[in-house]
């Protein structure tokens, strides 16, 4: 008898799909180790991973680690890893390209954080917007143009999965350089929002127990790290409606004193800013608070770093960024057998996404993609973050609707700045870039200080600005 | 060990969901019998169906049949059926409202087909556009206003599933009357396009065998019956690319002579028009040919009914519409035990959709819904047809992109006409309605003949125009 | 004492401005003679006119005539005329470029009119839309690309004034080829509408006597020859409001019988179509009726040429177009002294416009110009017709608002067709061109007949299609 | 012989037009005296002026003065003045309504300036944007709703000329309350820009001498006080191109020290900010510098009031606003015969505008009007400032094009805030208003300080907030 069932999917192919992955930034520990973990546990994909990194030695170690892990019995996946000194080689004929790169923090990130502080501008992260984010964007654009050009030449049909910040500008650059590229940008921040709603479901809905993050469907819209949610559902139940109750439960917000968080992680997140934005604007900020505060001037209007603790978050000092870059100790321990690589549930979706794009099922998640109408009111072509349906070789954004007027205005300011930065990057025009820099909400200093700050940052990171015209008038203060 | 898997869905609720369905037009045989069939086979929904119809007797018989079918052992569903003489009662507290209504063809449809023929205007269907479709729309608007008003009063949170033509105008009317309504319109025509691609997949892709219709994902966009497809995929394979080869295989198109199809069903479909549109415009017409030809003047520019057979289709004569309405013989045979209601795979999606909207899984299909950006270039708010994701109490359209310029122009002409008809219906303004009537591509007669034809149709169906101002100047020829 | 006065204009320069005019199509009689007449009477401009024409002999005669006229005492202008065999030379350093060209009717226009008639498609003019207009557009595009390229090279700062039809496509081509061009298209048809309102002002407003055409301000919008007016004012009085009264006065419209106009000019205009469009759509058609009827199918749905006389107009037969081209008798009579060139008030605005663009005063008139928002709802960048303010080296369109929905739909269909034709012309793609041809409202024949007609026209005018790919599939019927 | 001439205007009516003017705020000295001056010198208008003011006594004195002035021999106009205690009476049957009102500064303006200073927020004017401008807007909305409602009732066909700030919000409120109103907003600031270009024309163009302000045509776009110019012409000469030279001539900008302007007028304007904006963004700020600096945070990022002098401007202290309101000494001297009212060229355009709207000639100037496409990229319906053509009973905006991306972003932020304030005003919703307040670029304090500041201002001006819900959560800090 006919069994009513889920929508027909093509019958599973039975044998594993074989795919080739090129990994740019393959010397990293974080992302590469997660990928090794997830591939090892994926039963229906197999293939090769070619790791490219400016730090070839680290890429080699990752390859070694990857191959060793795959040899273990618990590893169901069949994968081989290899390191290369050539981006061309890494991408040649790839089915998927993963990008996760970072300039040496000591030469870059540290300045992005510390120099603005000399002008009284504090940034919690400094990797997306604000003076630091703007400079980082300008550095990234030539690098991402090169990646896109290599994709065009070596693997034009590959899917590119970007993890690098500034997410919006990097992904946008890929499309600007190679409009036919198939690229998406992935970020975890909205997971936090889903988690918040999962907890709320458990709290406010009787039959909801042990609700997993990805059981909650949220309507996501905005730009990366300045995303918003106006609907949340678990099964057919509206969870969003309980935000007022949740807000009451937590009030008063911002009751902490400077110093209260001194012992906490720099990455502490208490969702108070997200909720305060909901309280004022009716839609929930959907990223960690340390990201959200950088998009508007009124939280980071502080005189001392500790003051930001009022909002339940901390600044990430530049020192924490340098140490990020140090200590490949864990890797050494793995390779020397002092520690064993433990399989775990990473929570990452990259492998699920590669499965879906390879034709194994469909998958819905939020991602960064050029706006073709999914967010009403934001510029067409700008990279926005919304939900999308991924299926065999295809990504289709879901219509997310628009934002409340004032929120749209705040988001569109950043969209404009990011678009201007990309244009400035392609034209090598720092005067144009400075237009966006001045218009950054965190740049609340005087016009001349802003110019001085901008010039100083470019000067300090001069070697990263080889593609820019350094005779720009903005630098001639 | 962690098993990478499909996206987490809420754990099935275990016991069936209980839902109440109000069925407007519940005296029909076609739709009602399909619903009985599908509900009987659905394991995880249960509840009640209240059938309302102007023909109460037929609704009662359907209720009787439904209850008998549910009593059979093979029926896994737990449903009770009841007929009512009151729309209010049918909708009171409903979770879902199904609409599938039809005016008595002898009083309406027959004129819509026959009177234009007196002016040399032939229509293959006459239920959507053309002179017949326009008049049908004007009749339907007051009826659908009443339905929407009843939903607003009796079950404002219910999902309304419309099957009635003209699909676009009916669904649009629901939203115009009650903007907060949750309504979708469902139609089968795109199934034919999926079927075509399924066959093509089997023909052109080695590993593709026994491909089911719903294994093919198509990117749908346009308005109902004038929908278009510009992407088709099976797994991660592009099937759309084989259209040129398929076209070559079938050429020459339009090789039939008048009379060749005399013995065929009036509903015969050879996909030649769909393919010819692809040949000329680069996108595939995605509905049966008998619908597609009504949206442009150049196929129905014929002097005799038989000529249309050149294109592989037939006109549906008005006589076939009257007999539609006759012969409840099958029902009688069921109820008198002379025939047994056979369970079958209906291919209908209404029950899958109700499951998804009730929080049991997600479902992706094409449907008719107000444009919030899913079709770029068509009026916002107009009802368009695209894919959408259905999940717990939510419908989210998928971004379908835009149409080629000339196709957009042809579609937008109909969007404008349909919007104008809706406005005319709400204002009771037949002069305004005649603007749309004149602008119908099939109305290729002279200005005065058009006016005479319009007046004659209104006159013949006068009792259906009680909500219109019959002093309109267009009627005073 | 301070005298309140009109807005300050720069003090007149006192001495005449000296400008150089390049005239493409300078062998014509109509336009060239008008220009000679108007320049001779303009007191504050002087300069040179260089006449270029493929028919050099005719250009020479015009130059001779022009110089003779300027020698007369009544001529206040100081101008010299010269003919040239080189477009480059005509445009070199020009301040203004006037374009008014026509292909030999016997090789082109005659086919555009006669061949469609073989398929039952009658056109009153056949120079703008319909099958003849589409073919004419395709011929004109390569010619206008050459003009624009020459302007770019020889006089990039010149103002180009176009008079050639199809007006929209020619002007659009200039901008497509050379986006920085400063070009406008001028046409008289709206003058007729102003005249109608001037007469109405005299009829319905007590104090209005001897109202001149250009005392009436009309709000113009649409595309050339399918323009619309929704406001008309004389002084501060609304004249538009009297249209209903005027309509009543003239009713019944369309009371003529075929044959009634047999003795009339082919160019007869009774404004009945313009008024009928107002009657049905609420805005007045603002061009001669013989143009208006070509944009919709319902007036030219006739079986015999005479039938069109019902609407108060006549077809212009192809024979009338050939004789246009014959008989330079008047010129001969001028040059041989048998007739004297009479100064007259031409009613043309070209000289007024050149004065304004040269910095002598400001001028407001309707003209054809790329849409930058002046007509809401029509494609940006498409050439539309609205009022504009002309002043020193500048043209600024006036915001005209939008059109009623159905009218916008009808106009936008033509905008799309014209844009497609331009694209087809630049790409040399006749398959693309045929998309627009099929979508022409006058092309009401069957799909195959349309293809045959299109192919036949291209074949007959083959030498004009040298820039097109003649292997297009549409030609392989 | 035919004399080529300017476009035909209707022959002057010969006798004066008789019009009735209702003046709201007719007790003011500034505007009322200018109107008396200009009407007295206008030869072709005559009629009555009815002065309404909450301060009836002052209105009466103005009426007395007006009538006395008209009695003088030099007065060519024929006008009678009358004061009234009733707005209804002032507007009854009026042809024109002039609005120029101001709340008592001591109760309002003083707080708007001084309270934000307590939070370190300095404003040069505080009448348009920034915290003071936002509060002023909220106060004005109920007042302007009343005006619009009275126009609707008493003189729905009248033209309303608004002079009150915040210009954009006041004018927008008129349209929101009464969509069919015919209202424009007039402001002088762009005159300064025309003056700058007039001087530049004299400096850089040989033949340009004694260039009057209104000989220069500028392309204006933006919102009031944050307007921009990207074209400037004198005759057919481009003056805008000399901005770089002018900028070089004046550099270094911002060379003053705090204190340098201590003796200067509070209204001093050195155009350095306007030019700096041009230097950075490529378009010229087109308002006095003291207005321009309030729309972006980077000029008013100062610690002491004197610091603003660096930019060549001064803050207007609240004390200067109170004295504005005092001292009707001049009026007393006029009325007691101690001083004679001197006729002068006011430079105001209100009378020219009334002439044009009455059908006496046409007039082009910049004004504030709902956006129907004249500024591309800004919200439709928002009140924007551009040029417009005024003629008999009609205002038509000229298409101004769009703004550079970053400038558009900055302007659109204010458009959004102003639209939100209007919505908040109509809904009486201070929480909504606070969204706009927080998003004001000058509000660079912390979120809590912003809330406190907002609450304090509302509290201090509580009697002006009678139409608002004072239980708003923003006030419950």
pLDDT at A336: 86
Q: What is the mean pLDDT of residues B341-361?
A: 91
What number of C-beta contacts closer than 8 Å exist between A and D?
90
What does each of the 477 residues of chain C score in pLDDT, given as a tens digit?
Answer: 333 345 666 655 555 689 999 999 999 888 888 999 999 999 889 999 999 999 999 999 999 999 999 999 889 988 999 999 999 999 999 999 999 999 999 999 999 999 999 999 999 999 999 999 999 999 999 999 999 999 999 999 999 999 999 999 999 999 999 999 999 999 999 999 999 999 999 999 999 999 999 999 999 999 999 999 999 999 999 999 999 999 999 999 999 999 999 999 999 999 999 999 999 999 999 999 999 999 999 999 999 999 999 999 999 999 998 865 545 578 888 888 888 888 888 888 999 999 999 998 899 999 999 999 999 999 999 999 999 999 999 999 999 999 999 999 999 999 999 999 999 999 999 999 999 999 999 999 999 999 999 999 999 999 999 999 999 999 996
For C419, the closest of B254, B405, B443 (CB atoms) is: B405
pLDDT at position C9 is 61
Query: Is 50 exceeded by the pLDDT of residue D235?
Result: yes
Q: Which of A320-334, B413-427, D222-236 has the lowest mean pLDDT?
A: A320-334
Q: Which of C111, C188, C291, C379 is catalytic?
A: C188
Residues on chain D touching A279 (C-beta within 8 angstroms): 473
**C223 CA: distance to closest CA in chain B (Å):** 16
Is the pLDDT score of D7 beyond 70?
Answer: no
- Residues B302, B308: contact at Cβ < 8 Å? yes
The answer to whether residue C13 neighbours chain D at the CB level (below 8 Å) is: yes
Which other chains touch chain A, taking contact as 3+ CB pairs less than 8 Å apart? Answer: B, D
pLDDT for the residue numbered B2: 34
Reduced to 3 states, what is the DSSP secondary structure of residue C119? coil
Burial of B210 (0-12, 13-18, 19+ CB in 10 A): exposed
For residue B116, what are its two tokens?
A: 């234009």
What does the pLDDT read at residue C2? 33
Q: What is the pLDDT of residues A432-469, one digit of tens each?
A: 999 999 999 999 999 999 999 999 999 999 999 999 99
ipTM value, please give it: 0.95
Is C366 annotated as catalytic? Answer: no
Do A186-324+348-476 and A18-185 have the same topology in CATH?
yes
Do A399 and B397 make contact, defined as CB atoms within 8 angstroms? yes
C271: tokens are 């404004």
The reply to whether D289 touches chain A by the CB within 8 Å rule is no
Q: Is B74 on the interface with A (CB under 8 A)?
A: yes
pLDDT at B171: 98
Pairwise CA distance, residues B473 & A435, whole Å? 60
Instruction: Say yes or no to pLDDT of B72 above 80.
Output: yes
Q: Which residues of C137-159 are buried (b: 16+ CB within 10 A; e: fewer)?
A: bbbbbbbbbebbebbbebbeebb
Question: Lowest mean pLDDT: which of A392-401, C32-41, C47-56, D422-431?
Answer: C32-41
CA angle at residue D189 from D186 to D193, to 5 degrees? Answer: 130
Q: Across the interface, do C8 and D387 touch by the CB < 8 Å criterion? A: no
Is the CB of A351 less than 8 angstroms away from the CB of B4? Answer: yes
Nearest to B399 among A38, A217, A374 (CB): A374
Percent of residues, chain A, with pLDDT higher than 70? 95
Supply the mean pLDDT for chain B: 94
Question: Residue B12 has what pLDDT?
Answer: 55
Q: Give per-residue pLDDT as tens, D100-117.
A: 999 999 999 999 999 999
Cβ–Cβ below 8 Å for A219 and B396: yes
The pLDDT, as a whole number, for residue C387 is 98
Q: Smallest Cβ distance to C233: which of D213, D343, D394?
A: D394
- D56-82 pLDDT, tens digit per residue, is 999 999 999 999 999 998 899 889 999
Q: Give residue A339's pLDDT.
A: 84
The SS3 of residue B98 is: strand
Determine the residue of chain B that is closest to A214 in CA distance: B8
Q: How far is B396 from chain A (nearest CA, A)?
A: 6
Q: Is D438 on the interface with A (CB under 8 A)?
A: yes
pLDDT of residue D19 exceeding 50, the answer is yes
The residue of chain D nearest to residue A293, with distances taken between CA atoms, is D447
B-chain CB neighbours of C302 within 8 Å are 446
Residue B1 clears pLDDT 50, i.e. is over it: no
CB D298 within 8 A of CB A438: yes
**Residue A35 C-beta-side C-alpha neighbours within 13 Å:** 36
Confidence check: pLDDT of D468 > 80 = yes
| Helical spans, DSSP H, in A239-358 | 243-250, 272-281, 289-292, 318-325, 329-335, 350-357
**What percent of chain D clears pLDDT 90, i.e. is strictly above it?**
87
| pLDDT for res A238 | 98
C19 interfaces chain D, CB cutoff of 8 Å:
no
Residue A283 has pLDDT above 50, yes or no: yes
pLDDT score of C381: 97
**CA nearest to D213 within chain C:** C8
Residue-wise pLDDT tens digits, D243-291? 999 999 999 999 999 999 999 999 999 999 999 999 999 999 999 999 9
> Residue D397: its pLDDT value, please?
98
Q: Which CATH code, of 3.90.1820.10, 3.40.50.300, 3.90.470.10, 1.10.10.10, is assigned to B18-185?
A: 3.90.1820.10
CA of C137 vs chain D CAs: smallest distance (Å): 29
Confirm if D96 and D355 have CB atoms less than 8 A apart. Answer: no
Contact between chain B and chain C (3 or more Cβ pairs less than 8 Å apart): yes
Partner residue facing B401 (CB), from A42, A211, A372: A372
Residue D339 banded pLDDT, cuts 50, 70, 90: confident
What is the pLDDT at residue B5?
Answer: 42
User: Quick one: pLDDT at residue D30?
Assistant: 82
Chains that touch B (3 or more CB pairs under 8 A): A, C
| Contact between chains at D301 and A254 (C-beta distance less than 8 A) | no
Of residues C339 and B268, more confidently modeled: B268
**Residue A226 near residue A291, CB atoms below 8 Å:** yes
Contact B446 C254 (CB under 8 A): no
Chains in contact with C, where contact means 3 or more Cβ–Cβ distances below 8 Å, are B, D
For the segment B280-297, what is each residue's pLDDT rounded down to a tens digit? Answer: 999 999 999 999 999 999
Architecture field, domain B186-324+348-476:
Alpha-Beta Complex (3.90)
SS3 of chain D: CCCCCCCCCCCCCCCCEEEEEEEECCCCCHHHHHHHHHHHCCCCEEEEEEEECCCHHHHHHHHHHHHHHHHCCCCCCEEEEEEECCHHHHHCCCCEEEECCCCCHHHCHHHHHHHHHHCCCCCCCCCCCHHHHHHHHHHHHHHHHHHHHHHHHHCCCCEEEECCCCHHHHHHHHHHHCCCCEEEECCCHHHHHHHHHHHHHHHHCCCCCCCCHHHEEEEEEEECCEEEEEEEEECCEECHHHHHHHHHHHCCCCCCCCCCCCCCCCCCCCCHHHHHHHHHHCCEECCCHHHHHHHCCCCCCCCCHHHHHHHCCCCCCHHHHHHHHCCCHHHHHHHCCCCCCCCCCCCCCHHHHHHHHCCCCCEEEEEEEECCCCECCCCCCCEEEEEEEEECCEEEEECCECCCHHHHHHHHHHHHHHHHHHHHHHHCCHHHHHHHHHCCCCCCCCHHHHHHHHHHHHHHCHHHHCCCCCCCHHHCC
pLDDT digit string, tens, across residues A145-156: 999 999 999 999
pLDDT of A5: 41
**What average pLDDT does this structure show over B139-145?**
98
Task: Give me the residue from A419, A420, A446 closest to D301, CB to CB.
Answer: A446
Mean per-residue pLDDT for B70-99? 95
Query: Which among A9, A236, A399 is the nearest to B358, CB-wise?
Result: A236
Distance from CA of D391 to the nearest CA of A (A): 36
Task: State residue D17's pLDDT score.
Answer: 81
Q: Which of these ranges, A251-260, A318-327, A398-407, B299-308, has the smallest mean pLDDT?
A: A318-327
Tokens representing C388? 């504009």
Q: Where are the domains of chain C?
A: 18-185, 186-324+348-476
How much is the pLDDT for C136? Answer: 98
Mean pLDDT value across chain A? 94
- Average confidence (pLDDT) over A31-47: 91
- The answer on pLDDT for B447 being more than 70 is yes
């Amino acid at each position: 008898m006919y069994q009513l069932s889920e929508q027909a999917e093509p019958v599973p192919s039975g044998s594993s799909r074989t795919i080739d992955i090129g990994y740019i930034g393959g010397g990293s520990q974080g992302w590469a180790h997660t990928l090794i973990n997830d591939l090892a546990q994926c039963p229906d994909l197999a293939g090769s991973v070619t790791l490219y990194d400016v730090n070839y030695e680290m890429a080699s170690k990752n390859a070694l680690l990857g191959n060793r892990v795959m040899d273990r019995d618990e590893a169901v996946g069949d994968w081989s890893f290899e390191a290369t000194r050539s981006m061309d080689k890494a991408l040649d004929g790839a089915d998927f390209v993963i990008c996760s790169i970072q300039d040496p923090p000591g030469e870059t990130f540290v300045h992005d954080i510390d120099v603005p502080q000399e002008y009284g501008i504090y940034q919690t992260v400094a990797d997306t917007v604000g003076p630091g984010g703007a400079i980082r964007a300008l550095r990234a654009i030539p690098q991402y143009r090169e990646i896109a050009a290599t994709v065009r030449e070596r693997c034009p049909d590959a899917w590119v999965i970007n993890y690098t910040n500034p997410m919006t500008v990097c992904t946008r650059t890929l499309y600007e350089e190679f409009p036919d590229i198939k690229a998406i940008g992935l970020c975890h921040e909205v997971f936090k929002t889903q988690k918040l709603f999962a907890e709320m479901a458990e709290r406010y809905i009787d039959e909801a127990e042990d609700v997993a993050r990805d059981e909650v469907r949220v309507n996501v819209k905005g730009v990366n790290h300045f995303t918003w949610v106006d609907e949340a559902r678990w099964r057919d139940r509206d969870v969003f409606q309980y935000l007022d109750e949740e807000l009451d439960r937590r009030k008063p917000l911002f009751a902490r004193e400077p110093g209260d968080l001194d012992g906490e992680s720099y990455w502490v997140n208490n969702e108070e800013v997200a909720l305060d934005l909901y309280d004022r604007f009716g839609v929930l900020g959907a990223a960690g608070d340390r990201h959200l505060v950088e998009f508007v001037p009124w939280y980071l209007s502080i005189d001392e770093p500790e003051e930001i603790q009022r909002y339940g978050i901390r600044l990430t000092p530049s020192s924490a960024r340098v140490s990020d870059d140090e200590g490949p100790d864990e890797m050494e321990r793995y390779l020397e057998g002092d520690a064993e690589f433990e399989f775990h549930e990473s929570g990452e979706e990259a492998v699920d996404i590669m499965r879906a794009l390879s034709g194994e099922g469909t998958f819905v998640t939020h991602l960064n993609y050029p706006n073709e109408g999914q967010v009403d009111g934001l510029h067409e072509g700008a990279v926005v973050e919304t939900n999308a349906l991924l299926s065999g070789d295809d990504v289709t954004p879901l219509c997310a609707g628009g934002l409340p007027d004032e929120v749209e205005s705040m988001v569109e300011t950043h969209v404009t700045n990011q678009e201007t930065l990309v244009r400035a990057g392609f034209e090598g025009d720092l005067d144009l870039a400075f237009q966006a820099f001045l218009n950054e909400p965190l740049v609340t200093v005087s016009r001349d200080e802003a110019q001085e700050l901008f010039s100083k940052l470019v000067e300090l990171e001069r070697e990263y600005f080889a593609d820019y015209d350094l005779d720009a008038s903005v630098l001639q203060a």
